[in-house]
Structures are given as C-alpha cells and as structure tokens.
A and B are shown apart, each in its own frame.
Chain A
Amino acid sequence: MKPLTPDELRHLEEKAYQIRRLSLEMITYSQWGHIGGAFSMAELLSYLYFREMKLDPANPKLDTRDRLILSKAHGSPALYAVLALRGFYPEEKIYEYCEIDGLEGHTHVATPGVEASGGPLGMGLSVAVGMALGLRKKEAPRSRVYCILGDGECQEGNVWEAAMSAAHYHLDNLIAIVDYNKAMAKGFVWELMRIEPIADKWRAFGWNVLEIDGHDFPEIAQALHTARWVKANGAPTVIIAHTVKGKGIERAEFNYKWHTHAPDPATADSMLREVARTYGYAEQGYSFRNTPVQKDIFYGGE
C-alpha cells in the first residue's frame, strides 16, 4: 500500500481533533457522557470514516456500504461527532445529545449512520456477526463489517460467543477493533479483571490478530489494509489497538475517573484549549463558556 502523504495525514489528524472537540462540546452541553473512551478512538474513527469505509452520507442505508457497530456504545459522542463531520447530519445536531428525540445517550439506530442500538456491553459483535453472515447470504462480499469493542468489554461472555461463531462461519468480511485504552469505569483493566493475554485469546478463537498503536495513522492504515486485503484468508481479523484513555487532555489521560464525568463549562473551556494546543491548532474554547449549567444533574470530574 502507498504510505499516507503529508496532506492526507494532516487531513486525518484534523478530523481526529474535530472528533475530540465535538465530543467534549456535546458531553459538556448535555452534562452527560464518556470522555475517556470517546477520545481514545478519535484516530481510529477518523481513519475509518474518512479513508477506509465505503459510505454515502446522503444514502446511509446504501446496500453496498461498509457497516460499523460501536459495541462500546458509551463511546457514542465520538461516533456522533464523526458522523456529523462526515456529513450524515449537520454539526449543530450534536447539541441534541441526550435530549428527547435527539441523539440517544448510547448509540441507537434512529440516528443516520448508526447501525445498531446498544449500551449493555458485549452485544455488538454478535450483531456484527449477524450482519456479516447476512451480507454473505446476499452475496455482497465487497461490504465489510467493522466492530469496535472496549477492552473491559472483552470481559463479557457474549463477546466470546460471538468470536467463536465468527471464526466458525469463516467471516473474513468482519473486522473487530479492540480499543485497548487500559482503563474501565472504576479502575484499570489489569486491576479489576485481567484480560491478558488478549491477543492469544483471539488467536485461540480462530482470528487473525494485529496489534497496533491506535493513535498512529500509518499503523492504523497498515492494519486495516492488511485486514482487508492480505489476511482475508477465511478468518475474521481483530486489530488490538493500544490507546490512551482520554488522549489529548492530560488530566484525563489513563484516568478512569474521567470515564463518565462531564466537565463544567469553565473546565471544558480549558480542556478544549488544551486539546487544540496539544494537536497544534488555534485555541478554540467551549462554545457555551458563559452559559450557566441548566441541567438538574451535574457530574463534576476528577
């Protein structure tokens, strides 16, 4: 495969930055959401939606599209952000996050571009297996199904039922990505329930396994290319993407205390400026810096 040109890389980086920015905007505005697990996927989603997946935002149900299921459905802000950036709906829609008839807290099929309803962890890969089987039956082999799982999510038994069946049915049109950001809601993965050796587990279940730095675009590009063209050997492929929870905001990085918390407007403002500085963009603070928090429930961070 051709390496990414500097322009292509800049474009993808800018989209990853925008995914983080919009995620934090919507989480702060709604006063609910998961910063850490949204930020750890920013580069993965940027690459998938702006370079890898075959999509038509004007026709979100196009039969020949690639499908993506966010099994770690609490990472919804990042998915909603990338769908807005990709043109599935206007960017302003992100301020309907967690509002009635808006963007559901956890992913829901009512939103254009969202392929499955979720929330309870461990379910998404089964739905992805069903889609991959269905595509096979429809003889639409050029469409792929992607499924992003959390690392803590791999503690769910349902994940391994699905993994077993994907290999049994030789679903090489299915690519799973584990967002291995090392932290769960209440602690680190290795403290709460060890998942290592995670690569060996997937291998033992009959999958091709690739392991990458999930924030490094050339590595993401190489892995997805390998999954699509090189390893299409009758087995599904999993990409174990080593990531940093809360990547881009120092106080949230590897910090499970920012798994769920929504910042107050002033904190969000400083966080957004920090993210901009980190990735080399002109500082842009929180859009509603001077708007008092109206919500009944306020989740303070840290």
Chain B
Amino acid sequence: MAENNPNSAEELRDAFGKALLEVGTENPKLVFLDADLHTSTKATWFKQTYPDRFIQVGIAEQNLFGIAAGLASEGFIPVPSTFAAFAARRGLDQIAISICFANLNVKIPGSYCGVPTSRAGASHNCIEDLAVMRALPNMKVADPGSNADLRATLRAAVATPGPVYFRVTRYAVPELFDEETHEFEWGRGVLLREGGDVTLFGTGIMTQFCLEAADLLAAEGIMAEVVHLASIKPIDRDLIVESVGKTGCAVTAENASIHGGFGDAVSEVVAEECPAPLRRIGVRDKFVESGGIDELFALHGMTPTDIAEAARAVVAAKARREVVTV
C-alpha cells in the first residue's frame, strides 16, 4: 500500500483535472461549477483554459446543484463539483429532486471520498456517498480504480445522457489499464485476474488492494479471481454470477461504508442469483476520523491483509457448506 502511494505519483484527482480539460475541450457544452474548492478538486487547469465555462457559486452547495439543474435544462452539461460529503449530505435534496427526478444531464464528481483524503477527519471523509447516490432513481454511480479508468469514466459520463455520480479519490494507485485503449462501459466489469477459489470484487482504489490480496493468497495456494467493478449502478450482474458461479465464494472491497454501497450492490446480486459465502470489506459503521492514511486503512480493516483474511474465511465457509451439502 504505502509503497504504491509515493508522494511523487499522480493521484486520481490529478488525472481528473487533466481529463476534465480534455473532455471539456471536446465538449463546448460542458460547464464546470465550483463551490470554492477548485484547487483541491484539480479543476484549475480547466478554469485557466476556459474561464467562461467555469462558474463559481461560493460556499453554497444547495445552490450549486440547483444551478446545475437549471443549466442542464438549458442544454449545457454541468459538472458541479465539491467534496463527496457536501454532495451526498448537504446537496442531496437538490440532487434528488431538481436533478434526478427531472432526469437532467448533470455529472457530479465527488472528491475527498472514503479513507484517503487529508487529515480533515470525519466531517470530510465521506463514506456514505455510494449508498446515498445508489438509492436515487435515474442516477448512475461509478468509482473508477485508476487514472485511465477515471479518464474513461468522465468520458462515458459526459457521453451518457442523465445524472451521473462518480468518485475522484485523493490517492495514487498503479495503472490498471492501457491508457490508450481503455474504455469504461456502464454495467460492465473487468476481469483482471483469473482464479478458481474465490472472487475478490473491488471498486475504486480497493481493486488495487484486491490484486495485492490475491498475491498474498496465491502464496498459500488459494487462487483468487479479481473483478473490477467501476460501474456500481448499473452493476455487471452477469459477470458477478459467472465468477461466483465458478469460485463459489466472494469478498467485496470498497473505500466506503459497507452499508448500502458497493458491497451491498454485489451482495444483492449474489443473494438473488447465486447464493454463496460472502464478506464485505469497508468501513464498518464508524466515522473515519483524522489520522494517517495507512493507519486508517489498518484501523478500519481495509488493507490487502484484511481482504486476504476475509477470503480465507469465505473459502473455509464454502468448504463447510460443501461438506454439509454432501
């Protein structure tokens, strides 16, 4: 983990800033709305290049999302940007009714999500955005897992009509994909590593942790399959069923609360289509208070070691179940 996050590496938010400029250049209708955070969300490059398409609304998130709705109904593609916490909490009513109910073409990047943010603490470390946004009708939700994935997600979000929420994590991970050819598709997961003993479903930066967990497990002879699901809603039901059908047990990992978010989205499919032992890795009904990033991942049981431990548990449960069935 730590070695994968050197200070020199480019964080997902930097990739967002670059992708925003690129996609904004291709789409003259894209307008960026800021609530006094653009240097943190890395929209600065877009602002410098397209000052006429950069709208500052001040520290007023309810107004941020309302204005976005109005601009969308005039044919623009607004990108109202703030920290995930202020979108999922402060602006939720406006996102639900002004944007989602009206099914408007608004793309919401939620930054400073989950555990790795700054040392700002529980007020800013947003762990409920995936659950909250997933519950909104018409809303699509994504948590991209690498810089190329984020770029592809933004591109797909702008190309898809209707409201989209996607995460922009303040964290650096090794690139999972070919930057030139990678494409993001709604409701489509990616099989990153094949294995027959257990499936590790990751979203966002946690997919990288799943890959590291798979290495740990391989050393013990447990062959883990790793599936990256950046598109959380819609989710790739077919790939989940296919993989769990093969491995017979699963672990989910998300940089968010385990309640209502990604783990639950996968669990719903597994419970409905292919019941199997499953464990969820994520924040367990706690606020993520201030601390160092690696310390916090350890404190909340979200390290590759924790994922490997959960994998052993479901593999064991599967074995017990097989004995009982026989």
List the A residue with the shortest CB-CB distance to B66.
Answer: A126
Give the contacting residue for B98; candidates A127, A133, A138, A168; CB below 8 A.
Answer: A127
* A64 to B71 CA separation, bound complex (whole angstroms): 15
A123 touches B60 (CB 8 A): no
Give the contacting residue for B70; candidates A118, A120, A129, A168; CB below 8 A.
Answer: A129
Chain A residues closer than 8 Å to B67, beta-carbon distance: 126-127, 129-130, 133, 162, 165
Is A116 interfacial (CB-CB < 8 Å)?
Answer: yes
Question: What sequence of 0s and 1s flags, for each residue 49-72 of chain B, a beta carbon within 8 Å of any chain A beta carbon?
Answer: 000100101101011011111111
Is A134 interfacial (CB-CB < 8 Å)?
Answer: yes
Chain B residues closer than 8 Å to A118, beta-carbon distance: 97-98
User: Assuming the A-B contacts A120-B93, A123-B93, are A158 and B62 also in contact, with contact meaning beta carbons closer than 8 angstroms in the complex?
Assistant: yes
* A125 to B75 CA separation, bound complex (whole angstroms): 18
Is A248 interfacial (CB-CB < 8 Å)?
Answer: no
Tell me the smallest distance from the CB of B211 to a CB of chain A, in Å. 42
Interface centre among A116, A135, A168 (most CB of B within 10 A): A116
Chain A residues closer than 8 Å to B69, beta-carbon distance: 116, 126-127, 130
Chain A residues closer than 8 Å to B98, beta-carbon distance: 116-118, 123, 126-127
Tell me the smallest distance from the CB of B108 to a CB of chain A, in Å. 14
List the B residue with the shortest CB-CB distance to A168.
Answer: B58
Is B177 interfacial (CB-CB < 8 Å)?
Answer: no
Tell me the smallest distance from the CB of A67 to a CB of chain B, in Å. 8
Interface size on B, residues (CB 8 A): 28
* A130 to B80 CA separation, bound complex (whole angstroms): 12
Is B255 interfacial (CB-CB < 8 Å)?
Answer: no
Chain B residues closer than 8 Å to A168, beta-carbon distance: 58
B74 touches A138 (CB 8 A): yes
B71 touches A162 (CB 8 A): no
Is B298 interfacial (CB-CB < 8 Å)?
Answer: no
List the A residue with the shortest CB-CB distance to B52.
Answer: A137
Interface size on A, residues (CB 8 A): 31
Is A109 interfacial (CB-CB < 8 Å)?
Answer: yes
Question: What sequence of 0s and 1s flags, for each residue 91-127 of chain B, a beta carbon within 8 Å of any chain A beta carbon?
Answer: 0011001100111000000000000000000000000
* A9 to B68 CA separation, bound complex (whole angstroms): 39
Tell me the smallest distance from the CB of A32 to a CB of chain B, in Å. 18
Question: What sequence of 0s and 1s flags, for each residue 68-91 of chain B, a beta carbon within 8 Å of any chain A beta carbon?
Answer: 111111111010000000000000
B76 touches A134 (CB 8 A): yes
A127 touches B66 (CB 8 A): yes
Chain B residues closer than 8 Å to A158, beta-carbon distance: 62-63, 66, 94
Chain B residues closer than 8 Å to A119, beta-carbon distance: 97
A127 touches B76 (CB 8 A): no
Chain B residues closer than 8 Å to A25, beta-carbon distance: none
Chain A residues closer than 8 Å to B52, beta-carbon distance: 137
Report A141-180 residues with CB < 8 Å from chain B CB. Answer: 157-158, 161-162, 164-165, 168
List the A residue with the shortest CB-CB distance to B94.
Answer: A123
Chain A residues closer than 8 Å to B57, beta-carbon distance: 161, 165
User: Assuming the A-B contacts A158-B62, A158-B63, A165-B63, are A123 and B70 also in contact, with contact meaning beta carbons closer than 8 angstroms in the complex?
Assistant: no
List the A residue with the shortest CB-CB distance to B62.
Answer: A158
Tell me the smallest distance from the CB of B296 to a CB of chain A, in Å. 33
List the B residue with the shortest CB-CB distance to A106.
Answer: B97
Interface residues of A (CB under 8 A from B): 108-109, 115-120, 122-135, 137-138, 157-158, 161-162, 164-165, 168
Could you list some 5 contacts between A and B, CB below 8 A?
Answer: A126-B98, A127-B98, A134-B76, A137-B52, A168-B58
10 closest A-B pairs (Cβ-Cβ)?
A130-B70, A126-B66, A134-B74, A161-B63, A130-B67, A161-B60, A117-B102, A131-B70, A158-B62, A127-B70
A109-B73, A131-B74, A161-B60 known, 18 other contacts, Cβ within 8 Å? A116-B102, A120-B93, A123-B94, A123-B98, A126-B70, A127-B67, A127-B98, A130-B67, A130-B71, A130-B72, A134-B71, A134-B73, A137-B31, A138-B74, A158-B63, A161-B62, A164-B63, A165-B58
